[in-house]
Every structure is written in C-alpha cells, then in structure tokens.
Amino acid sequence: MTPREIALSAVQAIFADFDQAKAKSLLAPDYIQHNVGVPTGADPIIGFIPAHQESGIRCTIHRVICEGDLVVLHGTYENAQAFGGDTLVAFDVFRVEDGKVVEHWDNLQPLVTQTASGHGMTEGAADIKDLDKTASNKALIEGFVREVLQGHAPEHVTDYISTTHYTQHNPLVADGLDGLGAAMQAFAEAGQAMTYARTPLIVAEGNFVFTASEGRLGDVPTAFFDLFRIEDGKIVEHWDTLSTIPDDMPHSNGKF
C-alpha cells in the first residue's frame, strides 16, 4: 500500500471499523505520538478503540495531501468529547515507514458554524491538480512563511496572496486581503497578535501546501496548522486550526 492508503486505512480501522487487530497491523509498536493528550506508542491508540466505538465518534475526511512519507488529513470529528469538543476540525499528519504509521502530529479546534467569511471551516476546493507545480508551490509557501508569517518582510504579502480572490476559512477572518488585514489588526489590538516562530512541517502536493508551525497567540504558546491552495502562483484559499500548546503532556515528544 502507498503511504496515503496506509494512513487512510489506519484512520478507518481506529475511527470507523473499530478494528483493534487491523489497527495493530498498521501502527508501528514504537509509534511516536505528538497529540498532547495521548501517551506515545501504538498500545494506547489500540487500547482506546473500544471507548471510541462506545462514544459514537465519527471521522469525516475532507482532504488528503501526500508528499513522500508524510500524509496530511483534513477532517472533522463528531461526538468527539474524548478529544475536547462535540465537533472538532482537525489536521492529522502521519509519517509512514516500511508499511506502517510510525509518527503522528495533529491539531484540533472546535467547529465554528457562524464564520466571518460565511464559509465553513472545511468547505471549499478539494481536488488536487497541478502536480507538475508541487515544487514551485512549496517554494512559494516557504517564502510566505518566512517573509509574512514570521514577519521578516510582511510588506511582500501581495507577492504571495492573490489580490483579486482569496477565500478564507478561518472562522474569525473575512475574505480577501482586506479581511485578513482587518483581522490581524483586531487581534493585535486585543493583545492576541499571531506570531509564527518556526515551521517544522511543510507538505506539498500539486496545488495544496500544508504547514505546521509553532508560535504564540498573544503570550500563549500556540500551534498553527495551515493549508493553502495555490492558483497561478498565488494563494487563493486558506484553511487552518489553532490550539494552545500545554506545558505538560503524557509523553516527552513535544507538540512537534
């Protein structure tokens, strides 16, 4: 199976079929866990499966982006009280090696239905195309992260984001560059400025590029997982999840 198929099969086994034997066959025993509430290793994941089944949890995958051994799933978890909310929007990232999932990162945020843009947090384009532009699109987002998100040259924002159409799925931000600018100003004035310090993960496939970044929302350590859609060399659509990075976790692997 391909890394994409392995990751999807693992999610199917854990959250749909509730099949402990199948999950065990797909997860490396020394599976490295970065979820801030789950111990590391495959055994805790496998052990939670009966409780997942009893809870009625349901996982819906909206987008899949793959590059090499990394697979990014953009999904929704319903009946997800065990994870901290009724319905959560999530990015899950899996690293696959020798036919098994060996590492997992994620970022979950409660679903917001009334959004500033009127677009749902998981709605929008999903078809992957422009595979021949994967490298150039990844380079575009690497530049955007460095110059705009990390603040080295924010005045270059129009080099990266389309000035004619930019669809926003962050629930607090309206469409377009004007919507983005207004939201960033409002966050800063409220003492909630977003600062990106480093971006350990970047995964690209065709017209989609995913980033996982560590930074702060105001003074609070925060994880920012972002997904960008690129068209004609500019960012035209954006999805994200934000979550606080706690001091204490049930493992020593960290959020990243």
Q: What is the pTM of this model?
A: 0.97
Total residue length of the chain: 256
Q: What's the whole-number mean pLDDT along residues 11-15?
A: 98
Domain 131-244 has CATH 1.10.3720.10: no
- φ/ψ of 45, rounded to 5, equals -60, -50
Say yes or no: do domains 3-110 and 131-244 share a fold.
yes
Number of Cβ atoms within 10 Å of the Cβ of 252: 6
**What is the domain partition of the chain in residue ranges?**
3-110, 131-244
Q: Indicate whether 84 pLDDT > 90.
A: no
The topology under which CATH files domain 3-110 is Nuclear Transport Factor 2; Chain: A, (3.10.450)
**187-211 tens-digit pLDDT:** 989 999 999 999 999 999 999 999 9
d(CA 187, CA 156): 20
Q: What's the whole-number mean pLDDT along residues 13-21?
A: 98
